[in-house]
Amino acid sequence: MSEEDRPLQPVVVKKYANRRLYDTESSIYITLDTLADMVRRGRDFVVYDAKTGDDITRAVLTQIIMEEETKGRNMLPTSFLRQLIGLYGDSLQGLVPAYLERMMQQFSAEQQAASEAVVQPLAQPARPALPSRDEAVQPGIAVLERTTNLYKPFHRPGPDTAAVSQTATAETAAAVELDPAEALAENLLLRQEVARLRRELAEASAALPEQPIRSLVRGGARH
């Protein structure tokens, strides 16, 4: 592999107590706007606390988003922010990062496909359309809703729609209250199911945890 083809190493940035950011590759002080531009250009970087050596990349990326929001480039609805805050400390908190990663990856793929379609010569056959965002998010939403229902130990979900016969009534498909003994056994089974769902989501997510945050920063410039 030639030097030109070799992937670039992440730029190391140090943050000092006076909040100044130092680019060790270019040996210059930079700003949050500089880092935001690097994200949009696809230039990777890591930020370390100059005193402790701790990796504070995630905190700096979040700070960039806050700066963009204060400039009037709002992308995060208030309702979304409230829901996100409410999930901190919740039993479903561990599922959220993988869910957001997959949704942002799908959004980026759609965005790239749309850009290519604009410049694609008319003589060339069009690429197959990617699933819509609504179709893409349905699996993730289904998993979250299913997992949420699993944490209702005294309520048994109604039978699956596909399993309900044509003669079934609304009453037979409704939830059935459990006595304490049944509820305990049901609760144990549901906890096992939650653990399985968490493993599936963890295995399905291969991207870095910071990828959704970087995608949001890129999107800020196009809003």
220 inside domain: no
- Say whether both 119 and 152 belong to one domain: yes
- Say whether both 110 and 68 belong to one domain: no
**How far, in Å, CA of 148 to CA of 150, rounded?**
5
Beta carbons of 151 and 142 less than 8 angstroms apart: no
219 inside domain: no
How many domains is the chain partitioned into structurally? 2
**How far, in Å, CA of 101 to CA of 206, rounded?**
9
- Say whether both 114 and 132 belong to one domain: yes
**How far, in Å, CA of 165 to CA of 163, rounded?**
6
Coil, helix or strand for 118? helix
The pTM of the full predicted model, rounded to 2 decimals, is 0.53
pLDDT of residue 191: 74
pLDDT of residue 155: 46
pLDDT, averaged in runs of 10, over the chain (223 residues): 67 93 96 95 96 96 92 88 90 87 89 80 57 58 60 49 43 48 65 73 57 64 55
pLDDT of residue 115: 81
**How far, in Å, CA of 173 to CA of 191, rounded?**
23
**How far, in Å, CA of 102 to CA of 137, rounded?**
9
126 inside domain: yes
pLDDT of residue 217: 64
Integer angstrom CA distances of residue 104 from 87, 139, 143, 201, 210: 19, 14, 17, 15, 11
52 inside domain: yes
- Say whether both 31 and 139 belong to one domain: no
Farthest-apart Cα atoms in the chain, separation: 75
3 inside domain: no
- Tokens in use for 6? 């070799």
- Say whether both 109 and 189 belong to one domain: yes
pLDDT of residue 190: 72
What's the alpha-carbon Rg for the chain, to the nearest Å? 23
Domain endpoint, select from 46, 75, 104:
75
Domain containing residue 30: 11-75
